[in-house]
């Protein structure tokens, strides 16, 4: 195993890290891309083990990293290919629970430190919840350090037996600003409104997988409650998932002012056109949607769960999870009060400025790597 010279100046190491990404949520995939680029720029050799589709979607090789295709599976062949990719690694960094389990299996019998980032919390009920608990314990105990993207994830890792769990907020890449300035942005906004059918009425947007724990059923209850508003807001839900059929039946059966638009690759344009963003989830750590909303200066109504209050501070209207009345009231209040919306936009910009930059995120992670690899150099 090649070791880092303990006398190397920071950023000039011969360190080889392997980043392991599973299916990869938008947040963890964007983080791995940012991390790979930042580490490579500092002279670190980076191998990213991820499914080819994730590597293509996030242009992981464009970071200067080497990509090795490892399917999102814990079968022996996947673990074997991961074990080969990690053969000369100084440190392995896995993102997400399943990627971490594969990495732990691949490193069995090797003295290569494993860092695990918990980006989010998996959901399970009944017998699956017991399996999930065991999986979390296995991963927490295998890791030299667990990095949690929110304080409650750090607490969860400790409760699962992690010997070292630390808060490591990850940042999204800064949003790109339209090159044509305000006039072009307004044109794009009008185009998005026309396409979504929201010209002359408020547009409310949410983005997320259509799963039960995401709170879309509560959101539909709220949409029913704000049907008396004039003009009538349009709620647009972007995303796919197992609940789509049930949600569509409710929308049609109750005549709700809601559109399911499926997966979209133009979410930034939708957010730029939105009057409000809603996040009705039962739990989220460092919500990508919340970050995008604040960056885009769109007022946010979100549930006060998981890492959301820590992330947004006083820059969003927070409501209890599962309380459709509170959600509907918060939405109606914001739509009726342009001064309050402007205040939230300004607070959002100020709050986003407190989040770590991509560079600060990479620096923090690299300091953890140094800590875990430097002592080895003394004996090499």
Q: Render pLDDT for 100-133 as a digit per residue (tens, 0 to 9).
A: 999 999 999 999 999 999 988 887 888 999 999 9
Q: Cα–Cα distance between 260 and 247 in angstroms, integer? A: 8
pLDDT number for residue 12: 47
C-alpha 308/C-alpha 312 separation (Å) is 6
Domains along the chain with CATH numbers: 16-171+357-375 (3.40.50.2000), 181-352 (3.40.50.2000)
What is the predicted pLDDT for the residue at 170? 86
Q: What are the distances in angstroms from CA 132 to CA 121, 135, 210, 285, 293?
A: 10, 5, 21, 18, 31
Label each residue of the chain as H, E or C. Answer: CCCCCCCCCCCCCCCEEEEEECCCCHHHHHHHHHHHHHHHHCCCEEEEEECHHHHHHCCHHHHCCEEEECCCCCCHHHHHHHHHHCCCCCEEEEECHHHHHHHHHHCCCCCCCEEEEECCCCCCCCHHHHHHHHHHHHHHHHCCEEEECCHHHHHHHHHCCCCCEEECCCCCCCCCCCCCHHHHHHHHHHHHHHHHCCCCCCEEEEECCCCHHHCHHHHHHHHHHCCCCCCCCEEEEECCCCCHHHHHHHHHHHCCCEEEEECCCCHHHHHHHCCEEEECCCCCCCCHHHHHHHHCCCCEEEECCCCHHHHHCCCCEEECCCCHHHHHHHHHHHHHCHHHHHHHHHHHHHHHCCCCCHHHHHHHHHHHHHHHHHHHHCCC
CB within 8 A of 105, min separation 6: which ones? 74, 79, 82
Determine the pLDDT at residue 159.
97
What pLDDT was estimated at residue 181?
65
Contact criterion met (CB below 8 Å) for 276 and 290: no
**pLDDT beneath 70, residues of the chain:** 1-13, 23-24, 174-182, 375-380
Instruction: Report pLDDT for 120.
Output: 87
Q: What is the pLDDT of residues 226-250, one digit of tens each?
A: 998 999 999 999 999 999 999 999 9
Distance of alpha carbon 283 from alpha carbon 170, whole angstroms:
17
Q: Report the pLDDT value the prediction gives residue 2, as an integer from 0 to 100.
A: 39
């Amino acid at each position: 195993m090649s070791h880092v010279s303990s006398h190397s100046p920071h950023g000039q190491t011969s360190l080889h890290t392997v980043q392991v990404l599973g299916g990869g949520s938008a947040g963890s995939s964007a983080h791995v891309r940012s991390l790979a680029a930042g580490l490579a720029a500092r002279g670190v050799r980076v191998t990213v083990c991820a499914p080819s589709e994730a590597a293509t979607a996030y242009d992981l090789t464009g970071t200067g990293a080497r990509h090795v295709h490892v399917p999102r599976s814990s079968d022996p062949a996947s673990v074997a290919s991961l074990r080969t990719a990690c053969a000369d690694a100084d440190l392995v960094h896995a993102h997400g629970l399943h990627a971490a389990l594969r990495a732990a299996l691949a490193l069995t019998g090797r003295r290569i430190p494993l860092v695990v980032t918990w980006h989010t919390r998996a959901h399970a009920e009944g017998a699956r919840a017991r399996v999930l608990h065991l999986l979390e314990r296995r991963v927490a105990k295998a890791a030299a350090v667990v990095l949690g993207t929110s304080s409650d994830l750090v607490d969860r890792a400790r409760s699962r037996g992690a010997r070292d769990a630390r808060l490591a907020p990850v940042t999204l890449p800064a949003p790109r600003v339209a090159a044509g300035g305000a006039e072009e942005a307004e044109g794009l906004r009008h185009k998005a409104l026309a396409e979504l059918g929201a010209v002359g009425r408020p547009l409310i947007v949410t983005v997320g997988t259509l799963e039960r724990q995401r709170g879309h059923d509560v959101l539909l209850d709220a949409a029913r409650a704000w049907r008396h508003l004039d003009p009538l807001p349009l709620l647009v839900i972007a995303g796919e998932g197992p609940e789509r059929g049930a949600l569509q039946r409710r929308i049609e059966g109750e005549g709700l002012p809601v559109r399911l638009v499926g997966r979209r690759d133009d979410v930034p344009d939708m957010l730029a056109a939105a009057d409000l963003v809603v996040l009705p989830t039962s739990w989220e750590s460092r919500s990508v949607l919340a970050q995008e909303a604040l960056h885009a200066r769109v007022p946010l109504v979100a549930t006060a769960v998981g890492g959301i209050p820590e992330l947004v501070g006083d820059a969003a209207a927070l409501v209890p999870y599962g309380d459709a009345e509170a959600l509907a009231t918060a939405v109606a209040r914001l739509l009726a009060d342009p001064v309050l919306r402007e205040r939230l936009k300004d607070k959002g910009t100020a709050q986003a400025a407190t989040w770590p930059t991509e560079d600060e995120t990479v620096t923090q992670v690299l300091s953890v790597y140094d800590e875990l690899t430097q002592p080895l150099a003394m004996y090499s």
